[in-house]
């Protein structure tokens, strides 16, 4: 019994030292974390120990497994914070299946030695678990009792004041610095669980501008290279023309960096701000089904609009296959509906192929139609390199960004040729994460342009100054534009 107690004590001490290495680090007592944070950490680790003990029946192996798992969480959280500017979030746990389906999206955030260390650790601990499995029933029963006791104590603490108000703001950096990683994950998950759906939206969309066609393009990792790399010579001609032709343009103040496409997508489609979302802001798609009535296609449908969602990728990603129909889209076109990329064009469906499909659908539309497209070609990683002179950039990123820029030019010309009232909204979902060139901590904005055409296909120019908008504000700006009469924005 004394030996078992020493093993558990060593496990808890090692896990607390590991937690102290999570960025951002705290500065104070209890390994830099608050006493409530340490208490929650200890209970979570004890529950994990009980779970592994119930499975393996071996005290030392269970302690090693828990300690190894804690170390892995620290490695992943710090790597994510370095590349994306955010530590591990409770909502990231919902992406576990996506990691196995699309590992290239996530493994690029880790260095080769980190991947090898994690993979080797999983294999070693799996082999150890099998080799040391205990046949006696008593240790397994003890594990179940430890697990049950720790979980009961956690549930009781989360119901007591002031424990239930800990980390009440959706600020993971501040919460981790004060309470630690495990406590933050649990506390934020609890706050998220208690968030309720908003009342159903009953607001009709006032359509007085006569627009019959809306094309929205959410462009993967699209940013202005002139801003991104600090070199005016890298400016994109299509984006410059669109800004000059726009009825509205500016900087989109996205919250994610290098990832979290769904945050920007949700804001533009649903119009719910991050303040309104609260803890749902980290992954609003997890609760989108309860907010479907707020989505743009759902609000356009009563006015006789047909809505189509295009994304040349697996629609199960972020559960788009379920969310988008609930949000009012009448048709979904995924990866199987597009030709594969030609040799040498990369692993993803090209922006050119997506633009061709959009143009065909726009030309064939006879009723008021919303086409919402999400591109995939410009998905990283992008290796940095040295440009001519002193400026540094990524040739791989520039090539793909220019393809997206060509898509923008192509769509502008094709929509004008239709000779009907139309509106094109084009924006980047987030900036790319290119270590050493485009890192978190600086600007996060991406460009957006809104181009409007009258009944003859002529551009409706206003010469308006650049505006800074959040994705939710862009949603409402689009609704204002659809209600504008004779091109006059309300």
* pLDDT one-digit tens code per residue, 118-143: 677 677 777 766 767 777 888 899 99
What's the chain's average pLDDT?
Answer: 88
Q: What is the pLDDT of residues 250-294, one digit of tens each?
A: 999 999 998 899 999 999 999 999 999 999 999 999 999 999 999
Is the Cβ–Cβ distance between 237 and 433 less than 8 Å? no
Q: What is the pLDDT of residue 252?
A: 98
Residues composing the chain: 490
Name the burial class of residue 380, with classes exposed (0-12), middle (13-18) and buried (19+) by CB atoms within 10 angstroms of its CB.
buried
What percent of the chain has pLDDT above 90?
65
Q: Which residues, including other chains, have CB under 8 Å from residue 48's CB and lie 6 or more apart?
A: 66, 69
CATH match of 213-482 with 3.40.720.10: yes
Average pLDDT over residues 417-445: 92
| Neighbouring-strand partners of residue 216 | 372, 425
Tokens representing 341 are 């990329």
Nearest-10 crossing angle of helices 35-56, 137-159: 150
- All CATH 3.40.720.10 domain ranges of the chain, comma separated, are 213-482
Residue 208: band (very low, low, confident or very high) from pLDDT cuts 50, 70, 90: low
Q: What is the pLDDT of residues 409-425, one digit of tens each?
A: 999 999 999 999 999 99
For tokens 């309470």, the residue is 179
The pairing of strands 248-252 and 446-453 is antiparallel
The Cα 179–Cα 16 span in angstroms is 11
Residue 475: band (very low, low, confident or very high) from pLDDT cuts 50, 70, 90: very high
Q: What is the pLDDT of residue 199?
A: 93
What percent of the chain has pLDDT above 70?
88
Tokens representing 402 are 């220019």
Q: What is the pLDDT of residue 490?
A: 39
DSSP codes joined into one string, 408-427? HHHHHHHHHHT-S-EEEEEE
Helix (H, G, I), strand (E, B) or coil at 365: coil
Residue 452 host element (H or E)? strand 446-453
Q: What is the pLDDT of residue 389?
A: 43
CA atoms within 13 A on the CB side of 451: 26
Percentages helix, strand, coil for the chain (3-state, rounded to 5) are 55, 10, 35
Q: What is the pLDDT of residues 59-112, one digit of tens each?
A: 888 998 899 899 989 998 998 999 899 999 999 988 776 665 656 555 555 566
Q: Model-level pTM?
A: 0.90
Q: What is the pLDDT of residue 471?
A: 98
Q: What is the pLDDT of residue 95?
A: 76
């Amino acid at each position: 019994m004394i030996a078992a107690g020493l093993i558990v004590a060593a496990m808890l001490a090692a896990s607390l030292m590991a937690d102290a290495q999570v960025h951002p680090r705290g500065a104070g007592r209890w390994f830099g974390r608050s006493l409530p944070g340490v208490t929650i950490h200890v209970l979570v680790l004890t529950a994990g120990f009980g779970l592994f003990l119930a499975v393996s029946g071996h005290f030392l192996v269970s302690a090693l497994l828990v300690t190894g798992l804690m170390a892995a969480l620290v490695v992943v959280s710090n790597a994510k914070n370095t590349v994306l500017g955010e530590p591990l979030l409770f909502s990231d746990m919902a992406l576990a299946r996506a990691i196995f389906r699309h590992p290239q999206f996530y493994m690029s955030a880790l260095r080769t030695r980190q991947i090898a260390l994690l993979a080797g650790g999983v294999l070693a601990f799996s082999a150890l678990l099998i080799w040391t499995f205990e046949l006696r029933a008593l240790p397994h029963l003890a594990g179940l009792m430890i697990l049950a006791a720790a979980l009961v104590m956690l549930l009781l603490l989360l119901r007591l004041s002031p424990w239930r108000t800990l980390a009440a703001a959706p600020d993971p950096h501040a919460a981790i610095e004060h309470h630690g990683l495990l406590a933050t994950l649990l506390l934020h998950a609890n706050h998220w669980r208690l968030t309720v759906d908003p009342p159903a939206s009953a607001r009709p969309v006032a359509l007085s501008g006569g627009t019959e066609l809306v094309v929205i393009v959410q462009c993967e990792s699209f940013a202005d290279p002139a801003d991104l790399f600090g070199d005016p010579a890298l400016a994109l001609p299509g984006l410059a023309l669109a800004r000059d032709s726009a009825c509205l343009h500016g900087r989109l103040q996205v919250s994610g960096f290098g990832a979290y496409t769904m945050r920007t997508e949700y804001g533009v489609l649903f119009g719910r701000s991050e303040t309104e979302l609260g803890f749902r802001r980290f992954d609003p798609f997890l609760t989108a089904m309860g907010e479907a009535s707020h989505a743009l296609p759902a609000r356009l449908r009563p006015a006789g609009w047909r809505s189509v969602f295009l994304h040349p990728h697996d629609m199960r990603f972020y559960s788009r296959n379920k969310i988008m129909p609930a949000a009012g889209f009448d048709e979904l076109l995924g990866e199987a509906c597009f030709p594969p990329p030609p040799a040498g064009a990369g692993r993803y469906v090209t922006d050119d192929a997506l633009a061709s499909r959009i143009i065909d659908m726009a030309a064939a539309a006879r009723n008021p139609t919303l086409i919402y497209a999400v591109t995939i070609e410009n998905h990283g990683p992008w290796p940095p390199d040295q440009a001519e002179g002193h400026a540094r950039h990524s040739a791989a990123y520039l090539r793909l960004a220019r393809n997206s820029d060509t898509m923008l030019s192509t769509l502008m010309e094709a929509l004008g040729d239709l000779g009907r009232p139309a509106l094109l909204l084009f924006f980047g979902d987030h900036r790319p994460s290119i270590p050493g060139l485009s890192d978190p901590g600086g600007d996060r904005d991406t460009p957006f342009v809104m181009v409007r055409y009258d009944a003859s296909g002529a551009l409706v120019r206003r010469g308006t100054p650049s505006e800074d908008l959040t994705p939710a504000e862009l949603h409402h700006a689009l609704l204002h534009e659809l209600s504008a009469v004779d091109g006059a924005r309300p």
